[in-house]
Amino acid sequence: MTSDIASDDPRFAAYDPDPVERQAPVAAMVAETVEADVPVLAALQARARGGSAGEWAQRIRRGLGGERSLVVTARVADELAGYANVAFLSADEPSGYYLTGVTVDPAWRRRGLGRLLTEWRMEWVWGRHEPVWCFVSAENRASLDLHRELGFERVASGPSFQGVTFACGEGWLLRADPPSQGRRRKSSMEKTLS
Ligand SMILES: CC(C)(COP(=O)(O)OP(=O)(O)OC[C@H]1O[C@@H](n2cnc3c(N)ncnc32)[C@H](O)[C@@H]1OP(=O)(O)O)[C@@H](O)C(=O)NCCC(=O)NCCS
């Protein structure tokens, strides 16, 4: 899964497939987001992607506690280091469970948290015997690599999916099917422990 579109979009991490220096992966707890987390996550999102913390807080709250939606938080020790959403979207076909809005605090990036938040949500959707969907800007090469590595494949490309339009004009629709029975993928946590 490669994209030839270069990005200057400050909302996305600078693309660096092979960093010269790396920090060790960090141990994190992933759990469903609770109301008390919202102001901190909203401030994190406003710093990382722009916009006002108040607007982000409203958006995060809409995903809390729904029957077909979920917000999850990654915590390193006592610090909220990132969060991500799942929601059942049906504005366009294909309807289904979509991963949206994974964001890791820049100070904690490239230490395995994006992968952990994504694996956690994939397991949640697969537990409902559904495929996992997501859409990513063609400019967001870091995110495309993250999802490819976890087994997502491109199904389509287009200017918008589920009502979300891409600033660069193109996004990719990605899908990951549940692993076949008896061939469950090892999560990064299990790989670290084995
Ligand atoms: C995309 C994002 C969530 C990744 O979070 P992260 O915690 O840094 O990612 P991880 O450390 O778990 O990285 C997992 C893999 O993703 C890929 N990846 C992550 N960041 C990358 C980067 N800057 N350049 C290239 N590949 C990258 C790599 O394959 C990486 O594996 P590796 O470190 O073994 O090479 C983070 O950069 C972010 O918050 N970006 C801004 C918001 C955003 O674009 N969200 C996605 C919306 S679809």
Tens of pLDDT, residue by residue over 185-194, are: 656 555 544 4
What's the pLDDT at 48? Answer: 87
The residue nearest atom 26 of ligand 1, judged by CA position, is: 142
Distance 78 CA to ligand 1 centre (A): 22
Domains along the chain with CATH numbers: 29-193 (3.40.630.30)
pLDDT (average), residues 86-109: 96
DSSP-assigned letters across all residues of 124-165: HHHTTT--EEEEEETT-HHHHHHHHHTT-EEEEEESEETTEE
Q: Residue 89: is its pLDDT beyond 80?
A: yes
Looking from the CA of residue 101, the nearest atom of ligand 1 is 47
The residue nearest atom 18 of ligand 1, judged by CA position, is: 142
The residue nearest atom 42 of ligand 1, judged by CA position, is: 103
Q: Residue 42: is its pLDDT beyond 60?
A: yes
What's the pLDDT at 123? Answer: 96
Rounded to two decimals, what is the model's pTM? 0.92
Choosing from 30, 45, 141, 145 the residue with most ligand 1 atoms within 8 A of its CB, the one to mutate for a pocket test is: 145
Q: Interior CA angle at 148 toward 3 and 97, to 5°?
A: 110
**Residue 79 vs residue 189, higher pLDDT:** 79
Tens of pLDDT, residue by residue over 104-124, are: 999 999 999 999 999 999 999
Looking from the CA of residue 15, the nearest atom of ligand 1 is 24
Tens of pLDDT, residue by residue over 119-130, are: 999 999 999 999
The residue nearest atom 20 of ligand 1, judged by CA position, is: 142
Residues 6+ apart with CB under 8 A from 170: 5, 137, 138, 157, 158, 159
What's the pLDDT at 194? Answer: 40
pLDDT (average), residues 56-78: 93
What's the pLDDT at 49? Answer: 85
Distance 167 CA to ligand 1 centre (A): 20
The residue nearest atom 37 of ligand 1, judged by CA position, is: 13
Q: Residue 139: is its pLDDT beyond 90?
A: yes
Q: What are the structure tokens assigned to 34, written together?
A: 């609770």
Residues with CB under 6 A from ligand 1: 12-17, 48, 102-104, 109-115, 136, 140, 142-143, 145-146, 149
